[in-house]
Structure 1
Amino acid sequence: MKRIGVLTSGGDSPGMNAAIRAVVRKAIFHDVEVYGIYSGYAGLISGDIKKLELGSVGDIIHRGGTMLYTARCEEFKTLEGQKKGIEQLKKFGIEGLVVIGGDGSFRGAEKLTEHGYPTVGVPGTIDNDIPGTDFTIGFDTALNTVIEAIDKIRDTATSHERTYVIEVMGRDAGDLALWAGLADGAETIMIPEVNEDMEDIIKRLERGHQRGKKHSIIVVAEGVGSGVEIGKVIQDKTDLETRVTVLGHIQRGGSPTAQDRVLASRLGAKAVEMLLEGQAGKMVGIENNQLVSHEIDEVLARPHELDNAMYKLSKELSI
């Protein structure tokens, strides 16, 4: 294999640039040409593809987002769209592809592999919802962004003696809410994996108020429901002054942490190694700080698993 491609797809996450850099430089180290595919699978279909050199990825390791841009592409979900993408890869002489993204991106990579096209996936998503890896690229940076925001909100919550509901990202997985809630001492953490009884939350808040607690922090993953609606219910049922903060896309941006830069570098380089070894249809991940690989179809078939021990601890420490 003498020419490979790299693309980023789906939601962006801090550290994607570090992964792109690792793919490009690892490949060039092994005398393999690298072509960047811009705007994900949409760019693959349209042929928005350019050769990348060492200098193309200089000075990007510390930057958030992705220099290759990203987009969601409904057309690539169709057989016709996939064939168009493969024709572009053949046109540019690209023999293998590294796909950086989440589960939707991996589904596209799996389709390419089914059509006989070698593809390796690198997990990049702030939700940390990909099975087969302890951490995904961007999770640590997003987590620190959330923690910093909650720290600041707690200051004003203390000053005004208010209850604050903070909505964070996490449509199907509550890792971001759970880790941030535990790190910031939240009184309640609401995540998609656990069906919290609203009455229990109300009773916990009332008990705290009765023992003299002046403020409370409630972290809600977006997959549970609207933070605004939850805040309204809490205020109506407790008569406690309640404010809501929806952190939104601020969680996706920012310079990646050292952990995300190192993780992205290791995963990106390993993906190139796997392609050069003839591996395809696999995802590279990290488990117990060791690089591992799994079949993409097996990863997509497994549900995201909650760390129940961590969730239980968060409940025990928030009494």
Structure 2
Amino acid sequence: MNTALYGIAKSAEMSQLKLTGIRKGYEGLIDGDMVQLHSNELKQWAHRGGTMLKTARSKRFLTLEGRKRALAVLQKNKVDALIAIGGDGTFKGLMAFSEICNLPFMGVPGTIDNDLAGTDYTLGFDSAVNTAIQNIDKIRDTAESHNRIFLIEVMGRDSGYIGITSGLGVAADSILVPESGEDFVRLLEKVRNYDSENAFLIVVSEGDELGAELVASKIKEINSKVDLRISKLGHVQRGGNPSAQDRMLGIRLGASAIKALLMGRKNAMVGVLNNQLCLTPFGQVVKQHQVNAELDELLNLFNV
């Protein structure tokens, strides 16, 4: 997200536009928590994870009264357009805001889950997967040494993209994701008679309907001899320096957001489809509850 801010600022300055950052998302917008942004300062943040503008959930913005207060802040500060970085919740907020606010809005997809229609990749996904793979590779070392079954839980509350991509990348023996109903049955068949000197790695998305603890208990029920451990990677996946791909994606999407606004476009999300920049209306930017067909096919192939 910091790299996207840098891309936005650089592009804005080249067009003689003044850029103001809103701290803590919609919550900060309601409170008028704003700061001037300049590319020379933002480039010092471009290599860092997280967001220098901070972020926060806002229950007040869910109310009409809260959105009216936000509108008053924008009018007081003479804001001409608004760019928001986030997921489907962020864009739904902009859609609701557009009912009382006529300013042009532009969205930049920022979520590690990679679960938005309208773009092949969202900001943070590649970095999160790389972090997961690096950690799972290390877990394999100890799993091999002790002949253990390891359940590694990765993030992905409603989406299995991190689970599938990291699981395939580390050659996991089984991958459990929210979108699949057959992966657990296949796993139990694999571990029923497991007795090997090789490690057995299971990557579980946190949003899987069973969860790591229940999966572990079921494995122990059918094969009590196994030495089993659970490792939850947690929020380590949301931090750290962004990958090269995420940095370039941030630059491209940030600059594209400014370009789209200058062309008169509004109420859309910038994205990349087939490596081409594109715009998708907010109404079509819905959270995807199925992984794409190719990844689903790979999941079925390697889970056998």
Query: Which category of TM-score, normalised to the shorter sequence, fits these structures?
Result: over 0.9
Inter-partner Cα distance in structure 1 for 2:155 and 2:25: 22
Counterpart of 1:43?
Answer: 28
- Is this contact kept in 1: 2:117–2:284, CA < 8 A? no
Deviation at 1:309, TM superposition (A): 2.6
Counterpart of 2:270?
Answer: 284
User: Where in structure 1 do 4 or more consecutive aligned residues deviate above 4 Å?
Assistant: none
- Is this contact kept in 2: 1:98–1:119, CA < 8 A? yes
Counterpart secondary structure, 1:114:
coil
Residue 179 of structure 2: which of 187, 193, 198 is its match? 193
- Is this contact kept in 2: 1:162–1:243, CA < 8 A? yes
1:110 counterpart = 2:95: yes
Counterpart secondary structure, 1:129:
coil
1:202 counterpart = 2:182: no
RMSD after superposition: 1.5
The equivalences for 1:117-132 within 5 A come to 117-132=103-118
The equivalences for 1:262-277 within 5 A come to 262-277=248-263
Instruction: Give per-residue Cα distances to partners, 1:216-250, cap 9 Å, x unaligned.
Output: 11111111143123222212321211100011100
- Partner amino acid for 1:288? N
Q: 1:308 to 1:206 in 2, by over 3 A?
A: farther
Inter-partner Cα distance in structure 2 for 1:273 and 1:83: 28
Deviation at 1:197, TM superposition (A): 5.8
1:214 counterpart = 2:195: no
Identity %: 42
Counterpart secondary structure, 2:192:
helix
- Partner amino acid for 2:292? D
Inter-partner Cα distance in structure 1 for 2:170 and 2:154: 13
Inter-partner Cα distance in structure 2 for 1:130 and 1:147: 22
Deviation at 1:198, TM superposition (A): 3.6
1:181 counterpart = 2:157: no
Counterpart of 1:85?
Answer: 70
The worse-fitting range, judged by mean Cα deviation, of 276-285 and 257-266 is 276-285
Counterpart of 2:234?
Answer: 248
Inter-partner Cα distance in structure 1 for 2:183 and 2:138: 28
Counterpart of 2:297?
Answer: 312
Q: 1:196 to 1:317 in 2, by over 3 A?
A: closer
Counterpart secondary structure, 2:119:
coil
- Is this contact kept in 2: 1:131–1:304, CA < 8 A? no
Inter-partner Cα distance in structure 2 for 1:50 and 1:57: 12
- Is this contact kept in 1: 2:192–2:219, CA < 8 A? no
Deviation at 1:106, TM superposition (A): 0.9
Counterpart secondary structure, 2:191:
helix
1:159 counterpart = 2:130: no
Deviation at 1:264, TM superposition (A): 0.6
Q: How many pairs does the alignment contain? A: 301
- Partner amino acid for 1:191? V
Counterpart of 1:259?
Answer: 245
Inter-partner Cα distance in structure 2 for 1:53 and 1:187: 48
Inter-partner Cα distance in structure 1 for 2:303 and 2:79: 54
Residue 148 of structure 1: which of 129, 134, 143 is its match? 134
Deviation at 1:213, TM superposition (A): 5.6
Instruction: Give per-residue Cα distances to partners, 1:68-88, cap 9 Å, x unaligned.
Output: 000010110111111111110
Q: TM-score, with normalisation over the residues of structure 1?
A: 0.90
Counterpart of 1:237?
Answer: 222
Q: TM-score, with normalisation over the residues of structure 2?
A: 0.95
- Is this contact kept in 1: 2:175–2:183, CA < 8 A? no
- Is this contact kept in 2: 1:202–1:238, CA < 8 A? no
User: Structure 2: where are the runs of 5+ without partners?
Assistant: none
Instruction: Give per-residue Cα distances to partners, 1:156-177, cap 9 Å, x unaligned.
Output: 1000000000111111110000
Deviation at 1:318, TM superposition (A): 4.8
- Is this contact kept in 2: 1:281–1:295, CA < 8 A? yes
- Is this contact kept in 2: 1:98–1:121, CA < 8 A? yes
- Is this contact kept in 2: 1:170–1:221, CA < 8 A? yes
Instruction: Give per-residue Cα distances to partners, 1:256-313, cap 9 Å, x unaligned.
Output: 011000001000110111111221110000011110111011222x634312332332
- Partner amino acid for 2:131? T
The worse-fitting range, judged by mean Cα deviation, of 221-230 and 34-43 is 221-230
